[in-house]
Amino acid sequence: MTRIMDIHSHILPGLDDGAEDMQESIQMLDQAWRQGITEVVATPHYSFMYPNICPDRIRTLCREVQKRARQELDADIRIIPGQEIMYSEDVVDLLEEGKLLTIGGSRHVLTEFRPDVSYSYIFRAVKDLVFAGYIPIIAHAERYGAVRTAGRVEELRGQGALIQLNSRSAGGKWYHDTTRWCRRLLRKEMVDLFGTDMHNIRERSPETKSAVEWMKKSLKEEYVERVLYKNGLGVIRGFRNSSQ
């Protein structure tokens, strides 16, 4: 089975609109593990709805969830702390102060925006983060109309941003606009990272099968391995947690 790293998930219990409790976290991980996901970055929201999630709480919960998953599922799965950060002008300061988390202690920041945001706002956010020494990962890039205009993904990547797509979007029906856009981008090898953005075990469960099948059928093997696993591994290089 193809090994997958999930760079974007709401797996931690009781923090945001993701898993409600530990039982749901483990059920989500069970579904993920069966699809070949061996590394999961936990990325609870930082946004106006969830302004106060403590980084230490995220780190502790990652260790607890990993321990439970290894015991209950007998799954050699790693849970890596991170955050999905709704960009605002104070984000760089909060990162510097350690009040927000990068991905696994790296310089990579999973960055999201409101869906109707202007392109100039995204462009400025990328420049600000890069100037401060971070590498912004545009979370579910397919969600922003402003990014879907021709030439803009190229420009953002040229500025130093990385592009993450949600597996569900890439794995949709071929005639859906969003799926078609995702697949065009994948064909051009302009996608860097893959995430499930899993929130629960129902309508936002970890679902990768359809996207992975299409990728294997349509793209170069070496690129598929990079998007599904190797690029993510590069992001978390150096990360260790105490329960390993």
3-state SS, one letter per residue, for 63-74: HHHHHHHHHHHC
Member of 197, 208, 235, 236 binding Fe ion (CB under 5 A): 197
Question: To the nearest whole angstrom, how small is the minimum distance from the Cβ of residue 84 to Fe ion?
Answer: 5
Binding region for Fe ion (CB under 5 A) out of 52-60, 79-87, 96-104, 226-234: 79-87
Is position 6 an interface residue for Fe ion (rule: CB under 5 A)? Answer: no
Among residues 42 and 153, whose Cβ is nearest to Fe ion? 42
Q: Which residue has the tokens 């005639």?
A: 175
| Residue 71 main-chain phi, psi, to 5 deg | -75, -50
Q: Which residue has the tokens 């599922």?
A: 73
Binding region for Fe ion (CB under 5 A) out of 33-41, 78-86, 97-105, 125-133: 78-86
Binding region for Fe ion (CB under 5 A) out of 24-32, 84-92, 159-167, 184-192: 84-92
Binding region for Fe ion (CB under 5 A) out of 15-23, 80-88, 116-124, 226-234: 80-88
Residues 119 and 156: their CA atoms lie apart, in Å, by 10
Is position 84 an interface residue for Fe ion (rule: CB under 5 A)? Answer: yes
Q: Is 10 helix (H, G, I), strand (E, B) or coil?
A: coil
Furthest-apart CA atoms within the chain: distance in Å? 47
Q: Is 6 helix (H, G, I), strand (E, B) or coil?
A: strand
Q: Are β-strands 108-112 and 45-46 bridged in parallel, bridged antiparallel, or unpaired?
A: unpaired
Among residues 39 and 84, whose Cβ is nearest to Fe ion? 84
Among residues 24 and 197, whose Cβ is nearest to Fe ion? 197
Question: To the nearest whole angstrom, how small is the minimum distance from the Cβ of residue 110 to Fe ion?
Answer: 8
- CB neighbours (10 Å) of residue 39? 20
Binding region for Fe ion (CB under 5 A) out of 116-124, 196-204, 211-219, 230-238: 196-204
Is position 207 an interface residue for Fe ion (rule: CB under 5 A)? Answer: no
Question: To the nearest whole angstrom, how small is the minimum distance from the Cβ of residue 199 to Fe ion?
Answer: 7
Tokens of 13: 């219990």
Q: Residue number with the shortest CB distance to Fe ion?
A: 197
Q: Which residue has the tokens 């709805």?
A: 49
Closest CA to 57 of 99, 106, 115, 1: 99
Which parts of 37-76 interact with Fe ion (CB under 5 A)?
none
Backbone Cα Rg of the chain: 17
Q: Rule CB under 5 A: which residues touch Fe ion?
A: 84, 197
